[in-house]
Amino acid sequence: MARSILPRTASVAAVAAALSLVAACSGSGGSADSGGDSEGGTVVWSTWGTPEELGRFEEFNDDFMERHPDIKVELEPVASYDDYHSKLLSQLTSDTAPDVFYIGDDRLGQFVEADVLLPLSELMSSEASKTRPEDFFPGTFGAAQTGGEIYAAPNDTNPDVLWYDKKALEAAGITEDPAELAENDEWTTETYLEMNDKLAAAGLTGSIFWNYWATHYSWISAQGGTAYSEDGQFVAAEDPTTVDAVDTLARYFQDGKFAVADTMPEGSGADSMFVTHKAGFFAQGRYTIGTVRSAGEEDSYDIVRWPTPDGKAAPTGVAASYLAINPEASDVDAAFTFWTEFLSAEGQTFRLQGGGNAVPSIKGADEVVLEDDYPAHAQTFLDMRDIGFANYPAEAAVPGLATDISALMLSLYEGKADTATTLGAAADLVAEKTAE
């Protein structure tokens, strides 16, 4: 599962209009008992992905069909994430959508709100299920669970850990190991910022972050702040702890000690900077294993959780993609069989083993993260997933809202706005968009 934080160019207005049309055309949808009237035993499913990811999916399909010779599975991949959701919306509108499909965490809430996904709670609790609701880690459902109903489940996850480069730290005269500090609950915000100060003084970049929801909300949460209230109100501007945390985050970006990966020039981007020992820390998921191994530099790197004022662990953001079922699937029973096995502990183990690029979203598959003892503190991925959170449902439900808030944050990081103005503008934006 690739990270869900790359810049997106889809038109918000077009997406919103298409979703409204889909909701109007979808009617009441199918049910688990209907089975549909098309040819039974066929499941067409769709996702985006790299050639390597799609190859693994085809292997899963073959394995599934060997175990279920009465069910034929067909994968309809879409190469580009930006194109994927618009195509899916068109298919749902024209009643040509696949039976099962991926949805990105930044688009999931829109599909839930449009009422175009099959409710899954009852099926997940049935005898046919290999994926009961309690098998998943609660914080990873995010916008997939609303009003007591589940409409999708996470395929797998990627908590944003802080990868760190031992060679870069050594070059800056830093002798303490972040992961060892974390093991002793001594990984404090003060220590982390001091390390970034030393890295900058040595002519290196302290930390690299992608500008998306998991960066600003992870930092806020780790520092004890609050972005959204339980009733979905954006309260960051009203909370002094949050304001102070964001002000510190902004100052380190403005001083050049933190860098925004999204704005780095092509050819000398974040990955290149990190594997050439020019930055101390890089906030990314498990997929970074492939980056450092391909550069032949894996022994130089390890991971640590986000720092906190008291050094103890705090919830931070977990990126995910989700799997949903079309209410009009040709054979809902077959679709659910595929869905539940794809997401099961066995299914996730099959898909992620052998240096996979994500962290399981379900209990019972953790061995894939620990299988080759890399990185040295790989358990950190699991610990962060266990207490982490998906993007806030109130934000994920509104087309383009997460992207618009990230644009406000980028202006802050670039010194074009102050903290109070930025958080106030974000609060106004959330109030306006959610009212619409």
Which residue, chain included where needed, has tokens 């409710």?
119
Q: Do domains 12-158+319-391 and 161-316+400-435 have the same CATH topology?
A: yes
Does residue 76 register a pLDDT over 90? yes
Smallest Cα–Cα separation from 5: which of 311, 242, 215, 223?
215
DSSP SS3 for 47: strand
142/157 Cα distance (integer angstroms):
12
Is the pLDDT confidence value at 311 over 70? yes
Higher pLDDT, 88 or 397: 88
Q: What is the pLDDT of residue 390?
A: 94
Instruction: Locate 289 and state its tokens.
Output: 């294993």
Phi/psi for 254 (5° steps) reads -65, -30
Vertex 383 angle, CA 379 and 388, to 5°: 145
**Does residue 15 have a pLDDT over 50?**
no
- Rounded Cα distance between 232 and 244, Å, is 22
Indicate the pLDDT class of residue 93, thresholds 50, 70 and 90. confident
Burial of 144: CB neighbours in 10 Å, binned 0-12, 13-18, 19+: buried
pLDDT-based confidence at residue 400 (cuts at 50, 70, 90): confident
Would the pLDDT of 189 be above 50?
yes
Overall average pLDDT of the 96-119 stretch: 92
Helix, strand or coil for residue 45? strand
Is residue 28's pLDDT more than 50? no
Rounded to an integer, the average pLDDT of 62-70 is 96
Q: Do residues 345 and 360 touch, judged by C-beta distance below 8 A?
A: yes
Q: By the 8 A CB rule, do 208 and 258 touch?
A: yes
Task: Please say whether the beta carbons of 178 and 162 come within 8 A.
Answer: yes
Assign residue 344 a region: left if phi > 0, alpha if psi is -120 to 50, beta otherwise? beta
In this predicted structure, the answer to whether residue 66 has a pLDDT above a threshold of 80 is yes
Query: How many Å apart are CA 301 and CA 21, to the nearest integer?
Result: 48
The 10 Å Cβ neighbour count of residue 251 is 16
Nearest Cα to Cα of residue 103 among 177, 1, 208: 1
* For residue 316, pLDDT beyond 70: yes
Q: Edge-to-edge strand order for the sheet containing 72-77?
A: 72-77, 42-47, 100-104, 318-325, 153-159
For residue 274, give the nearest of 257, 292, 294 by alpha carbon: 292
| CA 207/CA 198 separation, integer angstroms | 12
Q: Tokens at residue 149, please?
A: 């109903």
Residue 407 φ/ψ, nearest 5 degrees: -65, -40
User: Who has greater pLDDT, 50 or 378?
Assistant: 378
Give the pLDDT confidence of 120-140 residue by residue, as tens digits: 999 999 999 999 999 999 899
In whole angstroms, give the CA distance from residue 372 to residue 107: 34
Q: Which CATH number fits domain 161-316+400-435: 3.40.30.10, 3.40.50.1820, 3.40.50.10470, 3.40.190.10?
A: 3.40.190.10
The answer to whether residue 38 scores a pLDDT higher than 60 is no
β strands within 95-219, DSSP E: 100-104, 145-146, 149-150, 153-159, 161-165, 205-209
Residue 17's pLDDT band (cuts 50, 70, 90): very low
The answer, yes or no, to whether residue 10 has pLDDT greater than 80, is no
pLDDT category, 39, cuts 50, 70, 90? Answer: very low
Residues 380 and 303: their CA atoms lie apart, in Å, by 7
Residue 106: the pLDDT is 85
- Following DSSP, what letter does each residue of 303-340 receive, concatenated? EE---BTTSS----BEEEEEEEE-TT-S-HHHHHHHHH
> What is the model's pLDDT at position 355?
67
Cα 40-342-321 angle, rounded to 5 deg: 115
pLDDT of residue 399: 80
Pair of tokens at residue 327: 């209410």
Q: What are phi and psi of 323, to 5 degrees?
A: -115, 130
Domain ranges of the chain: 12-158+319-391, 161-316+400-435
CB contact set of 56 (below 8 Å; sequence gap of 6+): 351, 356
- Position 27 scores a pLDDT of 39
Q: Is 72 helix (H, G, I), strand (E, B) or coil?
A: strand
Dihedral through CA 184, CA 187, CA 190, CA 191, nearest 10?
Answer: 90
Report the percentage of the chain scoring pLDDT > 90. 78
Predicted confidence at residue 436, as pLDDT, reads: 78
The pLDDT value given to residue 49? 86
Q: Is the pLDDT of residue 83 over 90?
A: no
266, pLDDT greater than 80: no
pLDDT score for 107? 87
Q: Is the pLDDT of residue 419 over 70?
A: yes
What is the rounded distance in angstroms from the CA atom of residue 137 to the CA atom of residue 228?
A: 20
SS3 call for 175: coil
Q: What pLDDT does residue 98 have?
A: 97
| Phi, psi angles (nearest 5°) of residue 355 | 80, 30
Q: Output the average pLDDT for the chain.
A: 90
Q: Please check the confidence at residue 45 and state whether its pLDDT lies above 80.
A: yes
The highest-level CATH class for domain 12-158+319-391 is: alpha beta
Please give the helix or strand (H or E) that residue 358 lies within, else none.
none
pLDDT at 220: 98
Residue 27 backbone zone (phi > 0: left; psi -120 to 50: alpha; other: beta): left
pLDDT tens string 217-245? 999 999 999 999 998 999 999 999 999 99
Q: Is the pLDDT of residue 26 over 70?
A: no
Alpha carbon 432 to its chain's center: 25
Mean pLDDT over 7-19 rounds to: 42
